[in-house]
Structure 1
Amino acid sequence: MYQSFYYKQLTPPKLKPEGWMYRQLRTQADGLCGNLDKVWPDIKDSGWTGGEKEGWERVPYWLDGFIPMAWLLDDSELKACADKYINAILSRQQEDGWICPCDKEERPRYDIWAAFLICKVLVVYYQCTEDARIEQAVYKALKCISRHLEVHTLFDWGASRWFECLIPLGWLYDRHPESWMQELAVLLRVQGVDYEKLFENWPYRKPQEKGRWNYLTHVVNLSMCLRSDMLYNAFEGRKIGDFAEKALNMLLDYHGMPIGHFSGDECLAGKSPLNGTELCGIVEAMYSYEWLLCGTGRDIWADHLESLAFNALPATISSDMWTHQYDQMSNQIQCSILSPENTPFLTNNGESHIFGLEPNYGCCTANFGQGWPKLAMSAILVSKKGIAVGTVLPCSANLEIEGTRVYFRIVTNYPFEDGYRIIVQTAHPAEFEISLRIPGEAAEAYVDGEKVEGNRCTLRRRWEGKSEINVVFDFEAKLQPQYEDLYYVKRGPLVFSLPVKAQWRKKEYVRDGVERRYPYCDYELFPESAWNFAFADGKFMYNKKNPGIGAFDSQNPPVCLKTTLCPVEWPVENGVAAIRPSSLTPVGPEVEAELVPYGCTDLRMTVMPVAEPYRKEI
């Protein structure tokens, strides 16, 4: 399966995050993800380790990000914690291979989506550790799943996410292929949701009816399904088709947000700037794009990946990474608990956009940790001809190419600077290819001063000693149409928003036996600065606001766009901004304003109209 892929990721022991990427991972480890086993009952006392709490998706979700985070940071304490959980899970695997924490009589109604997920996690653990026990454990678990599906067909989440089982199955098949593995792949495919047929006859062009929940419009299922066709075709040895691109284009056409994702709170919600999208959907879409980049080699997936990683992911997690939202909104002027009858969300509750331990539902609490570590693993990729830059991130790697040790480093503050440097050093002379990424948003790009075209610049030469390559981009800030007569600003991979100063009101309490206590408490956010503006002349001046700060910090955004805005009459309705102002006529003089990266905001206005005097000029 994986041998046919265009690129291969490096495993964490070979890859070292640096610069702002390292600081993001360190902050995550020092925050909620790195401490869930100490503070959250569903991890601390999980059924996966013999406890009485949840024994389904939450521990696997958490380990899926926690494990690569621990090894990327090379943190012995975090590694020991991961070892403890994996040892406990392996020790409880049944003789027949069943690996999930439920009694035998409960198996028919146990949604085995969790079994797919834990097998995937075990593969991640093997990639970090090469633990000899893992292959046999995964073999037994998948063989058990195969027998189980002959009698108990997939349902609910397992049916919606059938293709996730192909990830550990493909890994196992590459190592030791057996005929039953191909049969299991077919069983999964025929018992699971046919997303290709769904998108051929796409009925969900409008927002989901309020209060109506549906597996087929669920934003996380749809984020995951983008990798389904690729995984199945790769396993079958067939050419990877264009399903993912067609499906994503359709989702963005009808439900797209400025951040490059589709809305879903929790089901598809249209293009209004008030309808949010779930954090799980963000990290799972990122994971789909990482697979698609490696499987197809197409740089459109790197563009989509960077759009979510540099905008949506940091915006929905507090800067210290101790709290997160369930839903993020493009226009988010207040994050207070809303009454059920007045929430703008179609299927989620009125606390979904507050920052906290587990607002609305705890899946995102467990799952958000995979975002940054897996992004880091998509930076330096190995091709059949050499090395490729996947996503532009500060990191380095030591690897071997045709028997020669090669040190490869990306030096950058991108996306807060317009380019990167490559340092490559070989122990002995070696000929191989270095493929350099050029973002699709770049108006122009230069490699060592020479203008290049397209999304890739490939250098094939005999590398000897130490070499440096300098890559520079040229980006333009532009107004982009979003929803009816509303616009947003994008420059390169970054969406820019008007930041709204926030007052954070702490809420410490206990509910259903789960304690919220600082720093893992809940917060409501209230505005302390004006937000009721429209764009004026549509001109933007790019400035490095805090040089040297290379992370998504709401208090110290690294860059900004200076522009002119006009105050307009814009009402508040039930704790959120109305979809649009009541008038486009300015109600005061123009103001000079600074827009900052969307990912550096807690409260913000992103989608705004153009004020009346300037509408003809835009």
Structure 2
Amino acid sequence: MARALLLSLLASSVGVLYAQTASGLAPKKYLYLPLGSVKASGWVHDQLIVQTNGLAGHEHEFYDYVAQSDWIGGDSDYSELEEAGVYWFNGMVPHGVLTNDANLKAQTQQFLDYVIDHQDETGWFGPEVNTTKPRFLWARYPFMFGAINIAEYDPSQTTKIVTAMYKFVQLANTMLKNGEGLGDGGWAKTRWEDFVISLQWLYDNHPNGSEDLLLETMKLLKWTGDPWEDVFSEEYFPKEATENLDCPFDVLTWHGVNMAEGLKALPATYRFTHNESDLVRASEGWDLLFQYHGRPSGIYAADEYLAGLEAIRGTELCLVVETMFSGTYLYQVIGDLKYADRVERITYNALPATLTGDMWSRQYLQQQNQIAAKNMTPNPFATDGPYSNVFGLEPNYPCCTVNHPQGWPKFVANSFVTTPDQQSLVHVYLGPFGANTTLANDNAVTVNVDTLYPFGDSLTTTITASKPFIYYVRIPSWVTKGTITMDGAEAQDVSPENGLQAVPVQAGTTKFTLDLPLDITTESRPHGSIAVHRGPLHYAFDISRNTTVLTRNAQQPLAADVQFDATEAWQYAIDPKTLTFNNNPPSSGSLPSPIFDSGLPPFTITATACQINWTVAGDEFASSPPQNPTCVGAAKNITLWPFGSTKLRIGEFPVVDLSSL
């Protein structure tokens, strides 16, 4: 009782504080389009189909955590059962819509209906209905994300979804005032921002006269949750692997997936505080995270907890897709180019690198330098188990099995946004996408982007509009020599402002082509090593491998755990002066399916290299890249491939000067 009273008093105090400084919600820089307004074509659509035909599209048929018919009211005490259904739902709703897959849409509709139909009289929904289980708030948040997507895609379901959400919000408000619903081991306290974003959707679209309830609940969540403004401060942020550090906060704030979700916390807070300091700290925290734990593949390291810069430390697949979503939200609230650039880099590198090409097997942890994928002894991961980098159904923990499918569909769905006045359309993520929407003043607009990007350097965009407007397209920071050609006229240099190229669109049809030739660049990494980039793609030496099947699921044999072992030498140092780009465009005009597997992308980079002495721990993982190495073999050319297509790889190389050889 004392704790509940204290929380109530604190919540009242913070509510007064915020009321003195702001009212309502601050606008976002950009607005996303309702699900279904944006579609993929070309090779990205093929990625969605590969995902449909892989683990994600079939796990509802056989995987216990998702196929549970008694998700509501189940007897299992294992938290993953509660978490699994909502993770799957959150990702498969947009996936089913973007692929127009009737089976997947029926599965997610059944899930939605069952949850709402079994909501109890108090407003609670979840497996605790009609049980004596304690009620924890967090797992409801991904469910609301999926439900919101359905409401936007199918407005006929909006009333029942909004009604159910409000019943739950009223209950959650009371629980928070009573200090209830947060004791789930720390997940609700770190992931409160997801609930805030759902509340903001209600406020922006369906306030129903409940603005005060919604704002108060946002503030209660912020006040009872972990203080991300402090976690992301220079003073407290960990600048090395965290296993030997003492966390001044709830230790789960340094947990990789919580950190990925927590990136949304301060922009979400800004909307109801109107405090610019929230946005400043969000930006600072983003930069600190990637400065001290970042990877050339775009993501950061956390083999459960933040893991520093060493190339053999791991990155969790859940962390990858949650960072993509958080970066998207940050861009939509703040509008800084760096968020969109990084999300695109993560999507085209880190996401596919941690899945087999056919998407039937996934890792729990990926590595920058990964010379084997097997049960590891010794184990380089501070907290996670030695099976974590095996490609399989559920290596280490099963969460990534059900959570990874949100990556591609949410990336596609958020590749276009509008300005707040809805006068203009903005193409954010570059790739073969299209949009069909109605802007302000009943301006019906259709956009189709024809491109192989990032496996091609040009994008041709065709726009039909009923009225003139200004169209914007993002020009990534890695573009230095881009040109734009309007309706066949002479090419002009791109001239973006804040990363956006303005394109005047007339009523009728407008067509333009962006040419974005890119330079090879290198990135300094620990121990004097380097990483190689060209535009959004990171390049790595793809180590040839053999495959050993460790186990197959009894119900679905395609869901197999597989071990990869190297079948060639990988101990190379490269001469950066010799890096050469090679383009082998497909004769058919379309890319292989799937594109993210060995030897398939049309872009490569060659380098002159030599073998060096580079030690290993057993035969499991490489030591740190040696500094100032000496060649022990003759100079030879090696080929670097897009990182996402490699499953065993060297992505951070020692360097050597071979000009005298």
TM-score when normalising by structure 2: 0.88
Q: CA deviation at 1:69?
A: 0.5
Which among 373, 391, 399 is matched to residue 409 of structure 2?
373
What is the aligned partner in structure 2 of residue 607 from structure 1?
652
Q: Distance between the aligned counterparts of 1:578 and 1:321, measured in 2?
A: 29
Which among 528, 535, 539 is matched to residue 567 of structure 2?
528
User: Are positions 1:594 and 2:639 aligned together?
Assistant: yes
Which among 213, 223, 227 is matched to residue 190 of structure 1?
223
What is the aligned partner in structure 2 of residue 491 from structure 1?
534
Q: Distance between the aligned counterparts of 1:286 and 1:299, measured in 2?
A: 14
Q: Distance between the aligned counterparts of 1:105 and 1:134, measured in 2?
A: 24
Q: Alpha carbons of 1:61 and 1:462: their partners in 2 closer, same or farther (altered >3 Å)?
A: closer
What is the aligned partner in structure 2 of residue 585 from structure 1?
630
Q: Alpha carbons of 1:254 and 1:516: their partners in 2 closer, same or farther (altered >3 Å)?
A: farther
Q: CA deviation at 1:443?
A: 1.7
Q: Distance between the aligned counterparts of 1:497 and 1:247, measured in 2?
A: 28
Q: Distance between the aligned counterparts of 1:524 and 1:269, measured in 2?
A: 24
> SS of the counterpart of 2:279?
coil
Q: Alpha carbons of 1:57 and 1:372: their partners in 2 closer, same or farther (altered >3 Å)?
A: same
Give the residue type in structure 2 aligned to 1:234. Answer: R
Deviations 1:72-97 (A, max 9, x none): 11111211111111111112111110
Q: Distance between the aligned counterparts of 1:583 and 1:357, measured in 2?
A: 41
Q: CA deviation at 1:196?
A: 0.7
**Most deviating of 457-466 and 553-562:** 457-466
Give the conservation status (yes or no) of the 8 Å contact 1:433–1:458.
no
Which among 225, 230, 240 is matched to residue 262 of structure 2?
225
> SS of the counterpart of 2:380?
coil
> SS of the counterpart of 2:373?
coil
Which among 6, 12, 31 is matched to residue 54 of structure 2?
31
Deviations 1:385-412 (A, max 9, x none): 3111110121212211321322111111
Q: Alpha carbons of 1:123 and 1:462: their partners in 2 closer, same or farther (altered >3 Å)?
A: closer
User: Are positions 1:157 and 2:201 aligned together?
Assistant: no
TM-score when normalising by structure 1: 0.94
User: Are positions 1:451 and 2:493 aligned together?
Assistant: yes
**Most deviating of 599-608 and 211-220:** 211-220
Q: Distance between the aligned counterparts of 2:245 and 2:403, measured in 1?
A: 24
> SS of the counterpart of 1:471?
strand
Give the residue type in structure 2 aligned to 1:523. Answer: V
Q: CA deviation at 1:15?
A: 2.0
Q: CA deviation at 1:578?
A: 1.6
What is the aligned partner in structure 2 of residue 472 from structure 1?
515
Q: Distance between the aligned counterparts of 2:26 and 2:510, measured in 1?
A: 30
What is the aligned partner in structure 1 of residue 469 from structure 2?
432
What is the aligned partner in structure 1 of residue 42 from structure 2?
19
What is the aligned partner in structure 1 of residue 145 from structure 2?
120
User: Are positions 1:138 and 2:172 aligned together?
Assistant: no
What is the aligned partner in structure 1 of residue 581 from structure 2?
542
Q: CA deviation at 1:292?
A: 1.2
**Most deviating of 27-36 and 515-524:** 515-524
Give the conservation status (yes or no) of the 8 Å contact 1:219–1:268.
yes
> SS of the counterpart of 1:13?
coil
CA RMSD of aligned residues (A): 2.2
Q: CA deviation at 1:522?
A: 0.3
Q: Distance between the aligned counterparts of 2:273 and 2:612, measured in 1?
A: 57
Q: Distance between the aligned counterparts of 1:297 and 1:199, measured in 2?
A: 19
Which among 267, 278, 294 is matched to residue 316 of structure 2?
278
Give the conservation status (yes or no) of the 8 Å contact 1:212–1:347.
no
Give the residue type in structure 1 aligned to 2:519. Answer: E
Q: Distance between the aligned counterparts of 2:64 and 2:224, measured in 1?
A: 34
Q: Distance between the aligned counterparts of 1:440 and 1:582, measured in 2?
A: 30
Q: CA deviation at 1:145?
A: 1.0
Q: Distance between the aligned counterparts of 1:314 and 1:416, measured in 2?
A: 14
User: Are positions 1:8 and 2:31 aligned together?
Assistant: yes
- Which residues in structure 2 correspond to 1:115-514 (within 5 Å)? 115-130=140-155, 131=157, 132-153=159-180, 154-155=182-183, 156-174=186-204, 175-176=206-207, 177-200=210-233, 201-209=235-243, 214-239=251-276, 241-339=279-377, 342-383=378-419, 384=421, 385-401=423-439, 402-426=441-465, 428=466, 430-448=467-485, 449-454=491-496, 456-459=499-502, 461=504, 463-508=506-551
Give the conservation status (yes or no) of the 8 Å contact 2:609–2:638.
yes
Q: Distance between the aligned counterparts of 2:337 and 2:537, measured in 1?
A: 17
> SS of the counterpart of 1:172?
helix
Structure 2 unaligned residues grouped into runs of 5+:
1-23, 486-490
Q: CA deviation at 1:46?
A: 5.6
Q: Distance between the aligned counterparts of 1:212 and 1:26, measured in 2?
A: 45
> SS of the counterpart of 1:289?
helix
Q: Distance between the aligned counterparts of 1:137 and 1:90, measured in 2?
A: 7
Q: CA deviation at 1:151?
A: 1.5
Q: CA deviation at 1:269?
A: 0.9
Give the conservation status (yes or no) of the 8 Å contact 1:546–1:556.
no
Structure 1 unaligned residues grouped into runs of 5+:
none
User: Are positions 1:78 and 2:78 aligned together?
Assistant: no
Give the conservation status (yes or no) of the 8 Å contact 1:18–1:396.
yes
Give the conservation status (yes or no) of the 8 Å contact 1:170–1:235.
no
Q: Distance between the aligned counterparts of 1:475 and 1:113, measured in 2?
A: 43
Q: Distance between the aligned counterparts of 1:403 and 1:260, measured in 2?
A: 39
Q: Alpha carbons of 1:43 and 1:271: their partners in 2 closer, same or farther (altered >3 Å)?
A: same
Q: Alpha carbons of 1:453 and 1:404: their partners in 2 closer, same or farther (altered >3 Å)?
A: closer
Q: Distance between the aligned counterparts of 1:46 and 1:487, measured in 2?
A: 50
**Most deviating of 128-137 and 97-106:** 97-106
Give the conservation status (yes or no) of the 8 Å contact 2:625–2:652.
no
Give the conservation status (yes or no) of the 8 Å contact 1:314–1:600.
yes
Deviations 1:557-578 (A, max 9, x none): 2210122111111222131112
User: Are positions 1:563 and 2:607 aligned together?
Assistant: yes
Q: Distance between the aligned counterparts of 1:152 and 1:356, measured in 2?
A: 40
Give the residue type in structure 2 aligned to 1:123. Answer: I
Q: Which runs of 4+ in 1 moved over 6 A?
A: 210-213
Q: Distance between the aligned counterparts of 1:398 and 1:37, measured in 2?
A: 31
Q: Alpha carbons of 1:235 and 1:589: their partners in 2 closer, same or farther (altered >3 Å)?
A: same
**Most deviating of 16-25 and 168-177:** 168-177
Sequence identity, in percent? 28
